[in-house]
Amino acid sequence: MHAIMLKAKLHRAEVTHAVLDYEGSCAIDGEWLNLAGIREYEQIQIYNIDNGERFTTYAIRGEEGSKIISVNGAAAHKAKVGDRVIICAYAHYSEAELASFKPRMLYMAPGNQLSHTSNAIPVQVA
């Protein structure tokens, strides 16, 4: 049996560019791709906190250390500069892999400063 699980997440990153006339994708700071374990050209889901849009695209490598989050092509209609987004990647895992499975999550502070990383989401209380 296999399960599709959250592989990686960038939480509350700020969109720095929205470029309509660019080949569709989302450029992400290369350092963040490495930390999150997201590969260039990997499918990602983007959830826009500010307007509720949810869409699928793929990651491309942005300049390392640039703090870039550039939503490109048709997706530029779904996010504008300054919007806060959650970027997620998912993967298939076997039952054996799930025994040691831990997602990689990067939490962003204002100005796209990396606040902290984690491998678990706290339990939501009622």
Tell me which residues are annotated as active site.
25, 58
DSSP the chain: -EEEEEEEEEEEEEP-EEETTS-SEEEEEHHHHHHHTPPTT-EEEEEETTT--EEEEEEEEEPTTS--EEEEGGGGGS--TT-EEEEEEEEEEEHHHHTT---EEEEEEGGGEEEEEES-PPPPP-
Residues contributing to the annotated binding site for substrate: 57, 73-75
Residues contributing to the annotated binding site: 57, 73-75
